[in-house]
Amino acid sequence: MSLSWLTGPIFEKELRVSSRRRRNYVLRFAYLALLTGFLALFWLQAVQIGGGNLNQVSRMAEAGKGITSFVIWFQFIATQIIALIMLSNSISDEVYNRTLGLLMTTPINSFQIVIGKLLSKLLQIILILGISLPLLAIIRVFGGVPWIYVVSSLCVTLTAVIFVGSLSLFFSVFSRRAYVVIIVVILTLFVVFGLLPWLSGFLYFFVTGNWPGPRLTAAIFFPNPYGVMTYSTAMMISPMGAGGMAARLWPVHCGIMLAASSAILFLSVCVVRKVALRQATGQTAVRSSKKARTLSESPSKVAPPRRVAGPVVMWKELRTPVLGRRKIRMIIAIGIGLILLGITYALGWFENVLDEKSVHMAYVIIFTAIGMLFTTILPATCITSEKESQAWPLLLATTLSDWQILFGKFAGVVRRCMPIWCLLFGHIIVFSLVGYIHPVAIVHFGILVAWIVVFLSGTGLYFSTRFKHTTTAVIANFALAGVIWALVPIVMLMIVGITQGDIDLVSGLMDTHPFFQAGVAVIGATGSSGIYYWPGMESSDVAESTIWMLACMVGYMLIGWLFMWRAKYRLRRNIF
The residues spanned by each domain of the chain are: 4-284, 312-569
d(Cα 268, Cα 273) in Å, to the nearest integer?
A: 8
User: Residue 509 pLDDT more than 90?
Assistant: no
pLDDT tens-digit map of 67-100 = 788 888 888 888 888 888 888 877 777 766 677 7
pLDDT on residue 290: 47
d(Cα 323, Cα 321) in Å, to the nearest integer?
A: 6
User: Residue 65 pLDDT more than 70?
Assistant: yes
pLDDT tens-digit map of 330-386 = 777 778 778 878 888 887 887 788 888 888 898 999 999 989 988 998 888 888 888
pLDDT on residue 114: 83
d(Cα 402, Cα 55) in Å, to the nearest integer?
A: 63
* H-assigned helices in 351-401: 357-377, 384-388, 392-396
Percent of the chain with pLDDT over 70: 81
In 3D space, the residue among 38, 84, 26, 23 whose CA is nearest the CA of residue 486 turns out to be 38
Q: Which residue has the higher pLDDT, 137 or 73?
A: 73
pLDDT on residue 289: 46
The answer to whether the beta carbons of residues 139 and 236 sit under 8 Å apart is: no
- Count, in order, helices (H) and strands (E) of the chain: 27, 2
Q: Which helix (H) or strand (E) holds 450?
A: helix 440-466
d(Cα 416, Cα 142) in Å, to the nearest integer?
A: 52
pLDDT on residue 2: 58
Q: Which residue has the higher pLDDT, 254 or 506?
A: 254
Report the greatest alpha carbon distance in the chain: 91
pLDDT on residue 246: 54
Q: Which residue has the higher pLDDT, 220 or 397?
A: 397
The answer to whether the beta carbons of residues 314 and 412 sit under 8 Å apart is: yes
146-160, 415-429, 523-537: least confident range:
523-537
The contacts found for 97-106 with CB under 8 angstroms, 24 or more apart, are: 98/279, 98/284, 100/272, 100/275, 100/276, 100/279, 101/276, 101/277, 101/278, 101/279, 101/280, 101/281, 102/280, 103/10, 103/276, 104/273, 104/276, 104/277, 104/279, 104/280, 105/280
pLDDT tens-digit map of 424-470 = 999 999 999 888 888 899 999 999 999 999 999 999 999 999 888 77
Q: Which residue has the higher pLDDT, 12 or 254?
A: 254
pLDDT on residue 18: 73
d(Cα 142, Cα 73) in Å, to the nearest integer?
A: 19
The answer to whether the beta carbons of residues 201 and 211 sit under 8 Å apart is: yes
Q: Which residue has the higher pLDDT, 199 or 549?
A: 549
DSSP class of 61: H
pLDDT on residue 79: 87
Could you give the dihedral angle defined by the CA atoms of residues 522, 524, 529 and 533, in that order, rounded to the nearest 10 degrees? 150
d(Cα 464, Cα 381) in Å, to the nearest integer?
A: 6
pLDDT on residue 54: 56
User: Residue 50 pLDDT more than 70?
Assistant: no
Half-sphere exposure in the Cβ direction for 462 (13 Å, CA):
18
Phi, psi of 511 (to 5 degrees): -65, -20
d(Cα 141, Cα 61) in Å, to the nearest integer?
A: 9
Alpha-carbon Rg of the chain, whole angstroms?
A: 26
d(Cα 384, Cα 463) in Å, to the nearest integer?
A: 9
pTM: 0.78
d(Cα 122, Cα 237) in Å, to the nearest integer?
A: 30
User: DSSP secondary structure string, 221-283?
Assistant: TTT-HHHHHHHHHHHHH-TTSS-HHHHHTHHHHHHHHHHHHHHHHHHHHHHHHHHHHHHHTT-
pLDDT on residue 285: 46
Instruction: Summarize the confidence of residues 521-545 as an average pLDDT.
Output: 80
The residues near 115 (Cβ < 8 Å, ≥ 6 apart) are 6, 7, 8, 11, 265
Instruction: Summarize the confidence of residues 402-420 as an average pLDDT.
Output: 87
Among 45-59, 87-101, 192-206, which range has the highest average pLDDT?
192-206
Percent of the chain with pLDDT over 90: 13
The residues near 302 (Cβ < 8 Å, ≥ 6 apart) are 295
Give the three-class secondary structure for 533: strand
Q: Which residue has the higher pLDDT, 241 or 132?
A: 132
pLDDT tens-digit map of 468-492 = 877 788 888 988 998 898 888 888 8
d(Cα 457, Cα 317) in Å, to the nearest integer?
A: 15
DSSP class of 192: I
Identity of the residue numbered 451: W
The residues near 80 (Cβ < 8 Å, ≥ 6 apart) are 160, 161, 164
Task: Report the mean per-residue pLDDT for the chain.
Answer: 79
